[in-house]
């Protein structure tokens, strides 16, 4: 039922099966919990109680079912990846040795390794892990697993960010982003809300006004930015009256203090300009698609269906904020929902005119 897409029915059947097993059938009940945890992960129900999965994993380990216990741990790691807890994901993965496992489990292990490497911007390690995953998936001879490996591999050949500098823009692959972040440039990173050079990183994630000013100055470098433009960028004001100008001076003073080891901010006749301390140039690294709700679209771009609560957890924001963004994107036709209440899921619209693989289970003869 889960593979056919009826996740609600699949979860109901699993819970019924778990209740049907007696108290002496702890392993069978634990396997049901692991299967339910996998469905929760696929349906991006990240609020599903992780403690249940951990308890099931412990039960399986105690009874010698190492394979399903390992599968439970892989599900834990993949959930941690989705919510951005990379350090915890790495520590959890380090507890597993995939060598004695069958090919399907080894492929799953390497997919997780590749996922961590990509988020750490270690593209060479990611490619190596994906190569091992492809080899294991072919050995397992599971088409769905081979398709998943291929899908993840495509990420490395898909634009991951935009580079903005000296009035020009171009898309960057993940490998190019990795090279940029170890170069001698001063990077205003609009993906992580930090300003960095090759030796130091300053986070402005909790200071949105300062980051808006830093980005505006970075996009214009080496030119300056008029005061009216900075007021509009930082405060969303249509006119730069005296009160806004005074507020701008205060915020720019705070920006100077925050970036003192990386860059200065100098006043010009018409506005302000960014002056890097060590870097030879200044660039801005932005999401591939910019816009008010670009971060929400980026998560939905994985092709899976997400609940609004899972998106809020992954984005680190409130469910109400995410729901407003989804409603706005749905009005614009960029996302669509299905289901109601807690079963409501969001995804990007499928490409029209192409039937799903479920409708084409075998190759048809051509006359």
Tell me the HSE value of 313 on the side-chain side, using a 13 A CA sphere: 16
Sign of CA dihedral 26, 32, 36, 39: positive
User: Residue 250: its pLDDT value, please?
Assistant: 95
Summarised one tens digit per residue, pLDDT across range 79-115 is 998 888 899 999 999 989 998 999 999 999 999 999 9
Q: What is the mean pLDDT of the chain?
A: 86
User: Residue 352: its pLDDT value, please?
Assistant: 34
User: Which part of the chain has CATH 1.10.10.10?
Assistant: 161-286, 289-367
Could you tell me the pLDDT band of residue 72, with boundaries at 50, 70 and 90? Answer: very high
Q: CB–CB of 221/274 below 8 Å? A: yes
- Computed over its alpha carbons, how large is the radius of gyration of the chain? 24
User: Residue 363: its pLDDT value, please?
Assistant: 34
Its CATH architecture, for the domain 7-155, is Alpha Horseshoe (1.25)
Helix, strand, coil % in the chain, rounded to nearest 5 = 55, 10, 35
Cα 231 from Cα 238, distance rounded (Å): 8
User: Residue 362: its pLDDT value, please?
Assistant: 31
Report the top-level CATH class of 161-286: mainly alpha
User: Residue 291: its pLDDT value, please?
Assistant: 67
User: Residue 259: its pLDDT value, please?
Assistant: 95
User: Which part of the chain has CATH 1.25.40?
Assistant: 7-155
Query: How many CB atoms are located within 10 Å of the residue 30 CB?
Result: 27
Q: In DSSP terms, which residues pair with 163 in a beta bridge?
A: 170, 285
Per-residue pLDDT at 6 exceeds 90: no
Q: What percent of the chain has pLDDT over 70?
A: 93
Distance of CA 268 to the CA centre of its chain: 39
Summarised one tens digit per residue, pLDDT across range 265-294 is 999 999 999 999 989 899 999 988 776 777
Its CATH architecture, for the domain 289-367, is Orthogonal Bundle (1.10)
Summarised one tens digit per residue, pLDDT across range 301-356 is 666 778 888 888 877 788 888 888 888 888 887 788 877 777 788 877 643 333 33
Q: Which of 53-62, 190-199, 211-220 is predicted with the least confidence, judged by mean pLDDT?
A: 190-199
Mean pLDDT of 17-37: 91
Per-residue pLDDT at 256 exceeds 90: yes
């Amino acid at each position: 039922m889960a593979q056919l897409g009826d996740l609600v029915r699949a979860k109901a059947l699993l819970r019924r099966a778990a209740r049907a097993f007696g108290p002496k059938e702890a392993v069978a009940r634990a396997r049901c919990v692991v299967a339910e945890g996998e469905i929760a992960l696929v349906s991006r129900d990240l609020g599903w109680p992780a403690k249940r999965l951990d308890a099931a994993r412990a039960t399986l380990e105690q009874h010698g079912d190492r394979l399903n216990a390992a599968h439970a741990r892989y599900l834990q790691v993949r959930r941690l990846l989705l919510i951005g807890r990379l350090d915890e994901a790495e520590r959890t993965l380090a507890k597993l040795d995939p060598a004695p496992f069958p090919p399907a489990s080894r492929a799953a292990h390497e997919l997780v390794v590749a996922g961590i490497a990509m988020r750490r911007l270690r593209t060479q390690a990611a490619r190596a892990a994906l190569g091992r995953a492809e080899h294991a998936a072919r050995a397992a001879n599971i088409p769905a697993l081979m398709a998943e490996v291929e899908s993840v591999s495509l990420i490395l050949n898909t634009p991951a960010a935009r580079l903005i500098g000296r009035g020009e823009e171009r898309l960057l692959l993940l490998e190019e982003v990795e090279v940029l972040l170890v170069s001698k440039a001063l990077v205003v990173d609009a993906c992580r809300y930090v300003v960095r050079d090759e030796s130091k990183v300053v986070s402005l994630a909790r200071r949105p006004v300062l980051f808006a000013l830093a980005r505006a100055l970075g996009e214009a470098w080496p030119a300056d930015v008029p005061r009216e433009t900075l007021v509009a960028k930082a405060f969303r004001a249509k006119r730069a009256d005296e009160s806004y100008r005074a507020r701008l001076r205060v915020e720019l003073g705070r920006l100077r203090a925050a970036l003192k080891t990386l860059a200065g901010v100098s006043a010009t006749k018409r506005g302000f300009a960014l002056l890097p301390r060590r870097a030879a140039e200044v660039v801005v690294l932005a999401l591939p698609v910019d816009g008010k709700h670009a971060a929400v679209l980026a998560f939905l771009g994985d092709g899976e269906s997400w609940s609004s609560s899972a998106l809020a957890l992954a984005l680190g924001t409130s469910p109400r904020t995410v729901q407003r963004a989804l409603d706005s994107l749905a009005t614009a036709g960029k996302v669509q929902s299905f289901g109601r209440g807690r079963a409501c899921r969001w995804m990007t619209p499928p490409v029209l005119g192409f039937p799903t693989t479920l409708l084409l289970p075998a190759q048809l003869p051509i006359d």
